[in-house]
Structure 1
């Protein structure tokens, strides 16, 4: 019985000894540690950021230079304003003239085919004046001298048509005097600014 108690005490001491715990922990399989992601060196990151900033500055400089080149506009603003309002006024003028001819045809006696001829001339004026305003606007905005040249050439027939309705048609009403004076003023101003615009485009 004494031997048994001695063996039990020895086993208890062996279990409680720190050396045994260390041996057991050493025998256990160790878990692999996760490798930390390698950080890029600070110098390389600084170089990359410096090159990116330099490229941004170069792109901004090129954009500013291109913008400065594109902002050199030589188109005539007064001519563009005149052509714009002339287009709207011509639409008003043409409708008024049609209504006046309807009134004349019902009230006043016309010799022969003079009424038909004057109405046909009004439709010819519609075509020529529309082409003149469109070509003049295109030539001024795109700074093309040939377009403005064609527009200036069309001033002559348009001017004589307005002059015909102002003085030489069969019956000239008082309202037609005002209706035809205004486009003649438009034509005179547009002719002056068209010539100035063509000179400016040629110098540029």
Structure 2
């Protein structure tokens, strides 16, 4: 067993709550992605959806999925390795994904009640994730400075 040296802590600074929330967020996002994609297909078949707007909405949804992957990866990696840079990247991705969730909540071409419900839940989960990530980052910084 290694003895902690200068600047090292005897205990883990990783947040179990943040880890669980990141996993919950990623599972919910899979549901969100599939549900939103199916709603976009439904809207495009039943409503006069301009093709450029449909391409834009689908493109933003795919970008959202890629950014959610980064959000999850950097959050888990930053939390488990107690890395400031990954946690900071996670916070940037959290803000970016919140903005995309707000887009699907308010500014997409057609917003249905189902869009409002699932996007509101996602924004709430991202908000909790951001608060926990910020507090975990502060804990890392306080310990290592």
TM-score, normalised by the number of residues in structure 2: 0.89
* Cα deviations by residue, 1:146-170 (Å, 9 ceiling, x for unpaired): 1000111122221111111101111
Larger Rg over CA atoms: 1
Distance 2:33 2:45 in 1: 19
Instruction: Determine whether 1:196 maps to 2:135.
Output: yes
Are 1:125 and 2:50 matched, yes or no?
Answer: no
1:168 aligns with 2:97: no
Runs of 4+ in 1 over 4 A off after TM superposition: none
Aligned to 2:42: 103
Gaps in structure 2 of 5+ consecutive residues: none
Q: With structure 1 as the length reference, what TM-score do the two structures score?
A: 0.64
The number of equivalent residue pairs is 140
Residue 177 (structure 1) shift: 0.9
Q: Distance in 1 between matches of 2:39 and 2:75?
A: 29
1:1-204 correspondence to structure 2 within 5 Å = 63=1, 72-204=11-143
Greater RCO, 1 or 2 (C-alpha within 8 Å, sep 6+): 2
Report deviation, 1:110.
1.3
1:38-77 alpha-carbon deviations (Å, 9 max, x no partner): xxxxxxxxxxxxxxxxxxxxxxxxx5x75xx986111112
Gaps of at least 5 residues in structure 1 are 1-62
Distance 1:195 1:160 in 2: 18
CA distance, structure 2, for counterparts of residue 84 and residue 156 of structure 1: 18
